Structure 1
Amino acid sequence: MKPGQTQSLTISEKISSGFILRDEDGEKAFIQKVFADDSWEIGTEVEVFVYQEEGNFKATTEKANAEIGEFAVMTSVQSLPTGAFMDWGIIKDLFIPYKQQKSKIIEGKRYLVYVYIDDATGLITGTTKFKRNPQYEDLPLRNGDKVDLIIMNESELGWNVVINKQYIGLIYASDVFKKLYPLSEESGYIKTIREDGKIDVSLQPQGFENVDEFKQKIIDKLNDNYGLLYLSDKSSPEEIKEELLMSKKNFKKAIGSLYKDKVIEIKDDRISLL
């Protein structure tokens, strides 16, 4: 049985209140009837999320916000001197002991939480304490990959982010072209996986092969401004960032391609649709 994870279990017994499920080793988990499907029969394999309650394994077809080894933004539903309970997306709340709270968790507020199995108790546990920019090995990521981000916090170098709910990376301040907010979600791209195992992320795709995205953004902006935009390759990086939320480098690539395609005309102080 793999507590804190979604897995396939086999229906071994039907009882009045639900079903008994078993894994390959014969370990049991109970699932309430309310979470079962009318088509379930003994011997059928079902995909469920397994959690712990009072020393027993239980299962649900609900989807947890985060599984073991993942981060998610969760809301505190109760805060006690011993710890806090977080809305985990399933019937059972996730417990964060007081010693695993970076700062005291306040009921009703949202926090970034990491889910793990506590070595001492063997229980699924949450924490708001985690390393900043840790080093990784054998990452299933490549430069240029599009990824999902959770914005963590701003630092001296830029913004710390969670990548695909599992890894911590960094967006350098020079790569930020829009207002970011802690705990918000964004799409991003792997910029560099460094030799020390740290991950640099960009909010925009890298390389000329991704110029189409910037071209379309410029065309959309031109259409919104009656075919005229007071930006050119002589504009400052700050002006381009404010107007288009992109770097000057990507802007120049895009307008160069649009000019070559005879879509726009470039003047000293403006570009316009042909």
Structure 2
Amino acid sequence: MNIGQTQLLKIAEKNYSGLFLEDENGERAFLPKIFASEDAEVGSEMEVFVYQDDDKLKATTEKPTAEIGEFAVMTCVQALPSGAFMDWGIIKDLFIPYQEQKLKILEGKRYLVYVYVDEKMGLITGTTKFKRNPQYEDLPFRKGDKVNLIIMGESELGWNVIINRKYIGLIYTSDVYKRLFPLSDEVGYIKTIREDGKIDVSLQPEGYDNIDEFQQVILEKLESNYGLLYLSDKSEPEEIKQELQMSKKNFKKAIGGLYRDKKIEILEDKIRLVNEGE
């Protein structure tokens, strides 16, 4: 039985209180009636998440915000001297022992949590202590891949981020073109996978293949600003960053394409939207 993971299990027994689900090795987990369909039949399969409760294996059809080996932002629902209980989307809260708290966890606050199985106890556990920029092997990414990010926090080099809930990466300060907030969600792009297994991420795609996104941002800004935008290829990078949340390099590529498509006019200190028929 893979505790802390979503899996397909077979219905082995059915009674008034719920279902007993079984894996291929005959190990069982109990699914309470509240999560069981009335027309569930013995022998059929169900997709469930398996967890521990009072030394027993239980199952739920609820979806946790993170499974074993994943990160998620969770809210503390109860803080005790021994540890904290976190809401992770299922009926039983996730426990973070006091010694696994980087800073003391406070009730009602949100934290970035990593879920793992404690080797000594064999229990699903949470922690807010994890390495920054760890080294990975056999990463499932290629340069340019679009990924989902959770913003961790700022460092000397930039911002540490969680990639697709499983990997820690870094956005260098030079690649940050918008205001970021810890624990917020963002979309990013794999920039570099280093030889040492560390991952660099960008908030914007690179190259002409992805320039359409920047062109759309500029067009929307022009349309909301009466067809004028007081930026040009002579503008300072910081001005462009503040106004459009993109680099000067991508701005120049985007307006170049819009100009060739006769959608804008490039003037000395501004760009102007070209109306249809002009």
Aligned to 1:230: 230
Tell me which amino acid in the other structure corresponds to 1:194: R
Distance 1:12 1:82 in 2: 38
Aligned to 2:20: 20
Distance 2:104 2:30 in 1: 34
Q: CA deviation at 1:231?
A: 0.6
Aligned to 2:220: 220
Q: Which runs of 4+ in 1 moved over 6 A?
A: none
Distance 1:82 1:243 in 2: 48
Aligned to 2:44: 44
Aligned to 2:115: 115
5+ residue gaps, structure 2, are none
Tell me which amino acid in the other structure corresponds to 1:99: Q
Q: CA deviation at 1:217?
A: 0.7
SS at match of 1:31: strand
Aligned residue pairs total 274
SS at match of 2:147: strand
Distance 2:165 2:204 in 1: 19
Aligned to 1:71: 71
Per-residue Cα deviation, 1:145-202 (whole angstroms, up to 9, x for no partner): 1111100010111100000000000011111111111111111111111111101111
SS at match of 1:91: coil
Distance 1:38 1:241 in 2: 56
Matched, 1:62 2:53: no
Distance 1:177 1:30 in 2: 49
Aligned to 1:273: 273
Aligned to 1:6: 6
Identity percentage of aligned residues: 73
Q: CA deviation at 1:207?
A: 1.1
1:139-218 superposed matches below 5 A: 139-218=139-218
SS at match of 1:191: strand
Distance 1:225 1:130 in 2: 45
Q: CA deviation at 1:39?
A: 2.6
Q: CA deviation at 1:81?
A: 1.1
Aligned to 2:134: 134
Tell me which amino acid in the other structure corresponds to 1:106: L
SS at match of 1:268: coil
Instruction: Give the TM-score normalised by the residue count of structure 2.
Output: 0.97
RMSD: 0.7
Per-residue Cα deviation, 1:130-153 (whole angstroms, up to 9, x for no partner): 000000000001111111110001
Distance 1:42 1:122 in 2: 30
Distance 1:224 1:35 in 2: 49
Distance 1:38 1:140 in 2: 40
Distance 1:262 1:121 in 2: 66
Q: CA deviation at 1:16?
A: 0.8
Tell me which amino acid in the other structure corresponds to 2:149: L
Aligned to 1:84: 84
Per-residue Cα deviation, 1:225-271 (whole angstroms, up to 9, x for no partner): 11111111000101101111100000000001111111111111011
SS at match of 2:241: helix
Distance 2:103 2:231 in 1: 46
Q: CA deviation at 1:9?
A: 0.2
Distance 1:213 1:74 in 2: 32
Tell me which amino acid in the other structure corresponds to 1:188: G
Q: CA deviation at 1:206?
A: 1.1
Q: CA deviation at 1:38?
A: 2.4
Distance 1:53 1:144 in 2: 42
SS at match of 2:215: helix
Aligned to 2:104: 104
Distance 2:60 2:92 in 1: 10
Distance 2:267 2:204 in 1: 26
Distance 1:249 1:222 in 2: 19
Q: CA deviation at 1:88?
A: 1.3
Distance 1:211 1:178 in 2: 18
Distance 2:211 2:108 in 1: 43
5+ residue gaps, structure 1, are none
SS at match of 2:217: helix
